[in-house]
Structures are given as structure tokens and as C-alpha cells.
């Protein structure tokens, strides 16, 4: 499914969260698709099941997945994940990162190109 960098300073559960978010955002994992069980993923990646569980809890907290007791974890629809608190946090981080990018010399047109590139990736290559 994906590779983890065991030498990274980023904790393994955070790497898992980032990888799953990437797969969900790029729609590799579809809405209501069942995620691998904690035990299965633990065996595949040869990491502690508690690490997988921590990543799943974080994904659920952030609104990317939902769990059904006895059934497993599933990808949540993007319409359900839109909540104002999360959007506020993202906007705040984006302004901070854009400010830093401008300070480091990236011009407005480059930033606009990056935004358009991200939009194409999210929409699965559609050109609008």
C-alpha cells in the first residue's frame, strides 16, 4: 500500500496519517471504502498494532474516516469532513506558509501555479 520511513524524525503514526490523507484526498481510497484492519495493516507493515490504532483514531478525529463497531474503519465523504474549525486551522496555516514563501522569494504567479496544480491533483486531473 505504501512505504514508511523508519529513519524519519516524524513519528510512524503521523506518517500513516499523512499517507492515508494523501490516498483519501487523491481519491485512491473511495468514499465508504473499508480500510485494512488494524491487525492486517500491522502485519503488512510490521509495526505495532497500537501505532495503527493511534493513526486511525487521529484520522477519525480529523474527519477523514469513521468507524463502525465490529465492522471496521471506512473513508468518510468529503462533504461530511467539511467543518468550519478544520477550515479555520488550514487557512491559518496556509497564510503562515504563504507569508514564509513570499518572504523567501516565491512570487505571486508561482503560488497561483501551485494552487492550480493542487486543484488539478484533487480533482483527479480534470481541467477546468
Q: Residue 100 and residue 72: Cα distance in Å, rounded?
A: 41
Range of the domain at 115: 83-122
In a domain, 4, yes or no: no
Torsion of CA 30, 28, 37, 32, to 10 degrees: 0
Q: What is the percent of the chain with per-residue pLDDT over 70, rounded to a whole number?
A: 91
Last residue of a domain, one of 62, 80, 98: 80
> Do 68 and 29 form a contact (C-beta atoms < 8 A)?
no
16 and 29 co-located in one domain: yes
pTM of the predicted structure, to 2 decimals: 0.66
Query: Degrees (nearest 5) of the Cα angle 119, 59, 44?
Result: 100
Q: For residue range 80-121, list pLDDT tens digits in order.
A: 555 666 777 888 899 999 999 999 999 999 999 999 998 888
Amino acid at each position: 500500500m505504501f512505504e514508511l520511513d523508519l529513519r524519519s524524525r516524524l513519528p510512524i503514526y503521523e506518517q500513516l496519517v499523512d499517507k492515508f490523507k494523501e490516498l483519501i484526498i487523491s481519491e485512491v481510497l473511495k468514499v465508504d471504502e473499508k480500510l485494512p484492519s488494524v491487525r492486517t495493516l500491522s502485519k503488512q507493515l510490521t509495526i505495532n498494532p497500537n501505532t495503527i490504532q493511534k493513526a486511525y483514531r487521529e484520522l477519525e478525529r480529523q474527519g477523514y474516516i469513521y468507524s463502525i463497531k465490529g465492522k471496521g474503519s471506512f473513508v468518510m465523504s468529503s462533504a461530511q469532513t467539511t467543518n468550519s474549525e478544520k477550515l479555520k486551522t488550514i487557512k491559518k496555516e496556509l497564510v503562515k506558509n504563504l507569508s514564509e514563501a513570499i518572504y523567501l522569494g516565491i512570487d505571486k504567479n508561482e503560488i497561483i501555479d501551485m494552487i492550480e496544480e493542487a486543484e488539478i491533483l484533487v480533482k483527479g486531473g480534470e481541467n477546468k
